[in-house]
Amino acid sequence: MNENQNNNDKQQKGLSDDEIKMLRSGLTGSSGAGHYDNSPKAVAIRYIKKNKLFSASVAIAAILLVVVLVFVTVYFIGKISDRPNTSDYTVYLGNEHYTVKYKEAVKDGVVLIDMRRVAEFSSLSVGGSDTNVKFSVSNSHYLKFTNDSEIALINGKAVAMERKAEVDAEKCMIPLNFLINAIEEGLLIKHDTENNVIKIGRRVYKDKNGDLVPTDMLFSVSKFAVLDDKGNLADGHEYKYTTDVSKYLDSIKTEYLNLVNKSNPIGEDYEPDDLVLLDECRTPPGRTMYLRKDAANALYAMLAEMESEAPDAFEELFVTSAYRSYEYQITNHEKNIQYYINKGMSREEAEAAAAMVSALPGQSEHQSGLCIDFMTDGMSDLDESFEEYGAFDWLSKNAYKFGFILRYPEDKVNTTKYSYEPWHYRFVGREAATEIYLSGLCLEEYLENR
C-alpha cells in the first residue's frame, strides 16, 4: 500500500482520536463564539436606539471589552482545568469527617489515607510498635506497615505499595489505592478525585432481627503481586488462557519499555523497522493500519481470546488507530492549525489552540508503533463511552496477559498529562504489563520505580 494513498485514506475517512477531538472541540467552540460575537452587539444596538445620547463609540468600546473578557475567561478556564485541584481533602468515616491539607493528603502524586483513623472507625485491633504497626481482624487477616517502607504485609504476604508508608505513634499514612485493593470485605471506599473527597463506610447486612450489622472486615492479596524476601515477585504470575497462544507467546513476552510522552518526544526520525500490516483483525473499511510485529502478534492473540471468552464484545470491536508516522502527525497537526486560522485566529493563537486538542508531532505514542485505539460499532465518537461496552470490561481484566496496558488511566491524569482514555492500549510485554496491572501504577510511575 503506498504511503500517500494511505495518508489520503486517513485524511478523508480517518477517525483518529486527535481528529475527532478537534472536530468536537471545534463544534463547541463555534457555538460559543457565535453567542459572544453577536448577542452583546445586539444588546448594544438596542440600547443605542433607545437612548440617542449614548454615543456609538461607547457602544463599540463596550463590545470590545466584552470580547476581551470572554477571551481572558476562556484562557484562564483552560489554564485552571490543566491543574489538579489542590484544595484540602475531606475524609468521611461514616458520618464523621475531617480535613487534611492537600500537601499532607497527596505526596509524590499519590493520595494517602491515615490507616490509624480507618482502623479506629472499623474497630480493627492495633498491635506492633509505633513505627511497625499491625491492624488485625484475626490472626490470619491483617495489614502490617513499616515506617519508610513500600512493602506491606497482607495476611502475612509481602506486597509493594505505590509509595512508602509514613508511620509514627499518631499516624499511619498509606496509599489510598493500596487500601482499596487490599480490602475484600467490610468497607466501602469512594474517592472523588475532582472534589478531593474520600468517603469510607462500613458495609452492613440485615441480621435475623432485621437490624443492620457491619460485615466482618476481610483483606485479600488477590489484587497484588506477592513478593519474596528480596522484594522480587515470589513465584511469578500464573497465566491462564482459554485459547492456544503458543504461536504468539514469544511476541507477548518481548519487552518494550520506551517512554513516549510530552516530556519524552520520540523524535522526528523515528520509524520502527518492523511494522506489519494489521490484516488479521477488524479495521474500518478502506483504511490500512500498521503495528510493530510483536505488538501485532500480541493483539491477534488477545482478540482471539476475546472472541472465545466474550464473543458479543468481540463482534462489535475494531481497531480505529494504530501506528501514525511523524509526517502524518505533521499533516494532521497542520490541518488543526489551519482550522483555527480559518476561524480568524493568528498563526500563533492557532498553534496554541491546536496544541490543546492533539499531540504535537513527535510527542504521540502512536509513532512508536506499539499502541492502538479501539472503538465499537455502537460508538459515533472516540470517547469515554467505550467504557460502557463489554470489550472494555474484558480488556480491563485480560489485556495484561497479552502484554497490553491501559495507558492513560482515570486516576493518573496528573502524571500522564493526558485525559482518561479508556480506548488507548499500549504494548509493553507481558511481565511489565502484569506488574503494572497488579500494582495500579501507570507507565511513568512504573519506569521510575524500576
The set of cell numbers assigned to 101 is 491539607
Task: For Zn ion, give the closer residue by CB, 163 or 424.
Answer: 424
- Least Å from the CB of residue 426 to Zn ion: 9
Task: For Zn ion, give the closer residue by CB, 320 or 439.
Answer: 320
Cβ-contact 369, 272 below 8 angstroms: yes
Burial of residue 385 (CB within 10 Å: 0-12, 13-18, 19+) is middle
Buried b vs exposed e over 191-221: b needs ≥16 C-beta within 10 Å?
A: beeeebebebbbeeeeeeeeeeeeeebbbeb
- Least Å from the CB of residue 260 to Zn ion: 11
The residue with its CB nearest to Zn ion is 424
The set of cell numbers assigned to 140 is 490470619
Binding mask 319-358 for Zn ion (x = CB under 5 A): ----------------------------------------
- Least Å from the CB of residue 330 to Zn ion: 17
- Least Å from the CB of residue 245 to Zn ion: 25
How many chain residues bind Zn ion (CB under 5 A)? 2
Select the span of 41-49, 144-152, 172-180, 368-376 touching Zn ion (CB under 5 A): 368-376
Rounded to 5°, angle at Cα 422 from 383 and 191:
105
Buried b vs exposed e over 13-27: b needs ≥16 C-beta within 10 Å?
A: ebbbbbbbbbeebbe
d(CA 24, CA 360): 18
Rounded to 5°, angle at Cα 365 from 360 and 366:
95
18 binds Zn ion, rule: CB under 5 A: no
424 binds Zn ion, rule: CB under 5 A: yes
SS3 state of residue 166: strand
Which residues, numbered 75-114, are part of the site for Zn ion (CB under 5 A)? Answer: none
The neighbour count for residue 361, using CB atoms within 10 Å, is 21
Within 8 A by CB and 6+ apart from 334, the residues are none
Task: For Zn ion, give the closer residue by CB, 95 or 263.
Answer: 263
- Least Å from the CB of residue 403 to Zn ion: 17
d(CA 304, CA 310): 10
Task: For Zn ion, give the closer residue by CB, 128 or 272.
Answer: 272
**How would you write 18-87 as a 3-class SS string?**
HHHHHHHHHHHHHHHHHHHHHHHHHHHHHHHHHCCCCCHHHHHHHHHHHHHHHHHHHHHHHHHHHCCCCC
Task: For Zn ion, give the closer residue by CB, 373 or 435.
Answer: 373
Select the span of 154-162, 188-196, 342-350, 416-424 touching Zn ion (CB under 5 A): 416-424
Question: Which residue from 162, 294, 373, 445 is in contact with Zn ion, where contact means CB under 5 A?
Answer: 373
Select the span of 3-11, 34-42, 268-276, 421-429 touching Zn ion (CB under 5 A): 421-429
The neighbour count for residue 280, using CB atoms within 10 Å, is 12
Task: For Zn ion, give the closer residue by CB, 116 or 324.
Answer: 324
Task: For Zn ion, give the closer residue by CB, 333 or 424.
Answer: 424
Of 157, 140, 143, nearest in space to 113 by CA = 143
- Least Å from the CB of residue 369 to Zn ion: 12
Task: For Zn ion, give the closer residue by CB, 155 or 416.
Answer: 416
Burial of residue 38 (CB within 10 Å: 0-12, 13-18, 19+) is exposed
Select the span of 21-29, 164-172, 369-377, 379-387 touching Zn ion (CB under 5 A): 369-377
- Least Å from the CB of residue 408 to Zn ion: 8
Which amino acids are annotated catalytic?
421
144 binds Zn ion, rule: CB under 5 A: no
The single-letter DSSP state of residue 280 is: S
- Least Å from the CB of residue 5 to Zn ion: 23
Residues in contact with Zn ion by the rule CB under 5 A: 373, 424
